[in-house]
Chains A and B, each alone.
Chain A
């Protein structure tokens, strides 16, 4: 495993609501500069975990450490360095977006008054709301509210961003913008903890993945390690039949313009194909998809993981 200090660590984190065990001895390990993807089907306990990290829900048992201090005891020191979006944005509906940000900035520590206007402007700019007018938030679309919530999370330039399903309610273009923004923030040094039930979203932007299934953390590793090579080589060619007859015995799977071959020497394979007039359009090591890894680790069926936005 690669180095880096712990930004979020939990040990045996458990939460029971009556008879329901929502979160079951979870050991999270999020490191500095990670984009950590917290993946889980609906009802798997993502939001409950996030709420415990932030001190909103009190754990039944287990320890939580955020930015090196114990939560919820050290909330006063820790939380000003954390920006969060928990289960959807919230705002005072009768106030404008700007007024909402000013109000939230004025509550609690760390919202320096003199720089407030500038920071609000910057945050709105970052989330793509620079041109909002004085309309009350009541009139905002869900997408705009989501962006406003994100702007509120960015007001104090947090070291850690905890985002629970931040792309809910956004259109594909909005999702793309948010993804770009988060990667940009991450490059500037912000650790991002992102929960989602969308595999594709996590696969596209995270460096590290934790998978929650029925309240248990069934998988946690670097995405690159999870998506390790399978040892097979993927060959794309319009001449599938010719290639198959040439590579008889080493072809493990084949399909529409595509073969999966197990050979020790890929360079030799390429030379052989080209020499025999097979037109190769792509030759690459096969990687496991995150979907395969996740399905292997979880007991739940495929249908519980949405592949794309809009299909939960």
Chain B
């Protein structure tokens, strides 16, 4: 696990990816600061209108910005590379004859991907906070200053911090689902690109099917169906239904795809 982390984070590409993901919310913050007025309340990504009144809320807006597309694609690429990348490089066979157990390798790879997600989300959150306060202003100069929830009621800072933590936790679970799918493709694909594409196809398919009424029967089971439900965590009172459903759906994907990845990898002939 430690060596997997060192491999991941000593690769310049990892940091380039994080920087790229980080660039999007920063760009949005700059645009918001320059163009006044911003999107009318109720339109545009979640929180963007709230952000205009309070820059400290910007980390949440940033999360809503990167969660639907940027972050899952980064996760798909990173997890897709996990096994297929080592195989293509030829290093997989040398890892396995050290020996590193096949199950252990899978777990370590998944762990490294999740640390990557945490680091990315943290970088995004910190940057977004700084950028938000600098460009969009800080309403809550005093620590106790009230912030309004999405529902319009006031929220205290500790409560806000708690809910933000919950929201980031929920995002992690969503990304774990993507990671499981990509890891599975990584054990069957010949190349890391093929694995990442496989996972992305599923993401895109899920996103495309969502607005389609004909696919309504599938909707509850789609990977991306409940991703933005974390907004509900900022309602008053918290609207748990969609969040819980989301967690269940992700758990399903995690169990099925991780299981398939494990079963496949454990019995696979390593011939590359």
Contact = CB atoms under 8 A, between A and B. Distances in A.
Contacts of B211: none
Contacts of A99: 10
A90 B91 contact: yes
A55 B97 contact: yes
Given A91-B91, A92-B89, A106-B3, A57 B99 contact: no
A90 B96 CA distance: 13
Contacts of B94: 84, 86, 90, 104, 152
Interface string B229-272: 00000000000000000000000000000000000000101110
Residue of B10, B97, B271 with highest tally of chain A CB at under 10 A: B97
B218 interface: no
Contacts of B271: 48, 51, 56-57
Interface string B93-114: 1111111110000000000000
Chain A: interface secondary structure?
A: loop
Contact of A90 (B11, B93, B99, B269): B93
Interface of B: 2-3, 6-7, 10-12, 89-91, 93-101, 267, 269-271
A94 B34 CA distance: 41
Contacts of A79: 97-99
Contacts of A95: 10
B230 to A, nearest CB: 36
Interface in A39-90: 48, 51, 54-58, 75-76, 79-80, 82, 84, 86-90
Contact of A57 (B89, B98, B100, B270): B270
A4 interface: no
Nearest to B98: A108
A85 B97 CA distance: 10
A9 to B, nearest CB: 19
Residue of A92, A93, A95, A107 with highest tally of chain B CB at under 10 A: A107
B96 A104 contact: no
Given A56-B97, A80-B98, 9 more contacts: A51-B93, A54-B96, A55-B96, A58-B267, A75-B99, A79-B98, A82-B97, A90-B89, A90-B90
B95 A56 contact: no
Contacts of B6: 103
Contacts of B270: 51, 56-57
Nearest to B96: A56
Contacts of B99: 55, 75-76, 79-80, 108-109
Contacts of B12: 94
B94 to A, nearest CB: 6
Nearest to B272: A87
Nearest to A108: B98
Contacts of A51: 93, 269-271
Contact of A76 (B3, B11, B90, B101): B101
B89 A88 contact: no
Contact of A107 (B98, B267, B269): B98
